[in-house]
Amino acid sequence: MAVPLIIAGIAGFGVEDTAYMVSAALLASGIVSIIQSKGFGPKWFRVGAGLPTIMGTDFAFVAPAASVIGAGGITAYFGGTMLGALLEVGLSYFVKPLLKFFPPVVTGSVISLMGMTLMSVAMGWAGGGFGSEDFGSPMNIGIAVLVFLAIALINHYGPSRIAPAAVLIGAAIGYVVCIPLGLVDFGQVVAAEWFAFPQFFKFGVPAFKLEYAIPFVSGYLVTVIETVGVMQTLGAVTETKLSDERIAAGVRADGFGSFIAPFIGSGPAATFSQNAGLIPLTRNASRKVAIMGGIIMIVMSLFPKFATLISIMPLPVLGGAGILMFGTVAAAGVQSLSRVEFNNRNMIIVASALGIGLGVSFVPDTVAQLPGILSGLFSSGISAGTIVALVLNIILKEKA
């Protein structure tokens, strides 16, 4: 549930709208989890791989969301992600040839860049939120450090069945600590409705402009690659032989889910990579369990009080968790790069992608005057870094 909280924070939402976005994310995740786990449709447009899979909103879309929301508001975010989702559906028919353009040197650079560009957001939360009167106060920093350490220690020392929930447990600890400090206002929870149905276009009709979609292209490309990897891993751990068509159907479910999610006010849906690790851990590979998980998420989404309880979480708690979560994303990219031979060619690709990507993130006005489509292509550090990595990977040939 971290991603909808992050997006709501970027959009400047109050508690009520934030709670709705959390509920919408639960609803969308539940629906698409059922689709992915069950599989529907004819062979030419099969949606869902039919593997036990839980879906959710992905961190790959957070960094570009910040630039798009800043430029056009929340409707630009929804419009951009919907257009990008159509790209992912289209790419599902070309999964095998597409992967050739994304070796570890490219994907590792992009994933690392995603984590790095989000660190300023997490640090701002850890301080209590930019512009707040007590920003950077010892109390705020102390809470963030407590949550950070709790997550790190539980993840490292906790039992194998507990460690995957380290972020949830650590955030809960920070949440409880904030109550006697007067940082949690339960009045919002009391005022929230007990039951409510989702609303179509709650935040307005999506704004469909190419300039809003371009920053999300890198996120969708990354999720395509991640989904293929998760599907292949799930096939191995469930001892299921997967055809290329079935993997493509899994990618298609991501795109389909990401397209329908904004109708109810949620961000893009993507396959959670944690699925592949939890199945051997729990020794349960039943699709029925994943489908039941989707049903539970749908039911939970109908109770605004639950979503409001999550939405009033103090920013320092989110900051402590965010530092580790975004850092983990960056580290995952480094892990991917560890499989790369760092010769002169690959060093140039990584250095250029990170340098330009971070540079644009730090000083976006540098590229603001670029003409037409170039301004859109380089509007976020993620898209800029991805383009640079892709182009250099193609034009810089390996030396004999």
pLDDT digits (tens, 9 = 90+) for 154-164: 888 888 778 77
Say if residue 1's pLDDT is above 70. no
Per-residue model confidence (pLDDT) at position 308: 79
Per-residue model confidence (pLDDT) at position 235: 74
Measured distance CA(133)–CA(354) in Å, rounded? 34
Mean pLDDT of 100-125: 82
In the block, tokens 């795109």 appear at 255
Other beta carbons within 10 angstroms of residue 335's beta carbon come to: 14
Nearest to 81 by CA among 34, 35, 25, 130: 25
Greatest mean pLDDT among 8-12, 21-25, 42-46, 392-396 lies in 392-396
Domain ranges of the chain: 2-395
CB 88 within 8 A of CB 224: yes
**Cα-Cα end-to-end distance for the chain:** 48
Measured distance CA(366)–CA(362) in Å, rounded? 9
Helices (H), 210-365: 210-237, 244-260, 274-282, 287-301, 304-311, 315-337, 344-362
Nearest to 140 by CA among 152, 151, 129: 129
CB 267 within 8 A of CB 8: no
Nearest to 48 by CA among 233, 226, 245: 245
Nearest to 300 by CA among 317, 308, 163, 190: 308
Per DSSP bridges, beta strands 55-57 and 269-271 are antiparallel
**pTM of the predicted protein model:** 0.70
pLDDT digits (tens, 9 = 90+) for 45-77: 888 888 888 888 877 787 788 888 888 888 999
Q: What are phi and psi of 196, to 5 degrees?
A: -160, 145
Measured distance CA(140)–CA(136) in Å, rounded? 6
pLDDT digits (tens, 9 = 90+) for 368-390: 777 766 766 676 777 788 888 88
Q: Is the Cα dihedral 26, 386, 11, 78 positive or negative? A: negative
Per-residue model confidence (pLDDT) at position 373: 66
Mean pLDDT of 234-251: 79
Mean pLDDT of 196-203: 83
pLDDT digits (tens, 9 = 90+) for 352-365: 999 998 998 888 77
Measured distance CA(162)–CA(281) in Å, rounded? 11
Say if residue 135's pLDDT is above 80. yes
Other beta carbons within 10 angstroms of residue 345's beta carbon come to: 16
CB 49 within 8 A of CB 253: yes
**Mean pLDDT, rounded, of the chain:** 83
Reported confidence tier of residue 281, pLDDT bands at 50, 70, 90: very low
Say if residue 116's pLDDT is above 60. yes
Percent of the chain with pLDDT over 90: 14
Angle at 336 (CA atoms; ends 88, 220), nearest 5 degrees: 15
Angle at 326 (CA atoms; ends 96, 309), nearest 5 degrees: 110
Reported confidence tier of residue 21, pLDDT bands at 50, 70, 90: confident
